[in-house]
Amino acid sequence: MSRVAVVTGGMGGLGEAICIKLSNMGYRVVATYSPGNTKHAQWLSDMQKQGHNFQAVAVDVSDYSSCQQAVAQITTQVGAVDVLVNNAGITRDTTFRKMDLEAWNTVINTNLDSVFNMTKQVIEGMAERNWGRVINVSSVNGQKGAFGQTNYSAAKAGMHGFTKAAALEYARKGVTVNTISPGYIGTQMVMAIPKEVLDSKIIPQIPIGRLGKPEEVAGLVAYLCSEEAAFVTGANIAINGGQHMQ
């Protein structure tokens, strides 16, 4: 039977590209969406017309109990989770001077606490089966920082600290834990930035001279999910067109 992959924040943008790529690899894919999102049925229908029979589960990734319930539902309806892609994330950008506690907590809870909340539900089962993949989707701004994103940059940097420690603990159990750090990718969120800002401020910072494609990031995730990536763990792989190099 094919393996089960869960992609948080899987509807639209980068998450959708990851879901499609993993489906094409033969995974049974479950995309999570935020409670209250009324467009999930239409998304599932659209994806089915493209040949992708995805499942969808509502979950508040910032809430531990919600994650418990969602993974229990997935396990019952689809099967034990073999691959977890922690992709869900939000921004609440403002300078630190203007940032309030709500903007800080909301981003930390959704972008960082979610990694614990979701991984906690699946990683022991992976270890028992001696195979598993956890991929945490961070950001170039977690590596280099970004003006107006102390909350987001802190959360995304924290993801990789989690990755390294968990990778050490589960390495001998056949479970790999890795981080990817995309740069500016041509998703709906990025394309909402005014064109003059993209052309004058963002793209000139990218040596390749363009935005990344969601499919390129999905290809990296697919590699980390594969058998060929079994020796890669605790890594933070940049995919940013040369914008930031370490």
Encoded amino acid at 169, one letter: E
* Helical spans, DSSP H, in the chain: 13-24, 40-49, 64-77, 101-108, 114-129, 140-144, 150-170, 188-191, 195-197, 214-225
Query: Nearest to residue 160, comparing CAs of 148, 145, 143, 176?
Result: 143
Number of helices and strands in the chain (H, E) = 10, 7
Single out the catalytic residue among 27, 33, 152, 170: 152
Kindly state the DSSP code that residue 137 receives in the 8-state scheme.
E
Q: Is 20 helix (H, G, I), strand (E, B) or coil?
A: helix
Answer yes or no: 152 catalytic: yes
Active site residues: 152
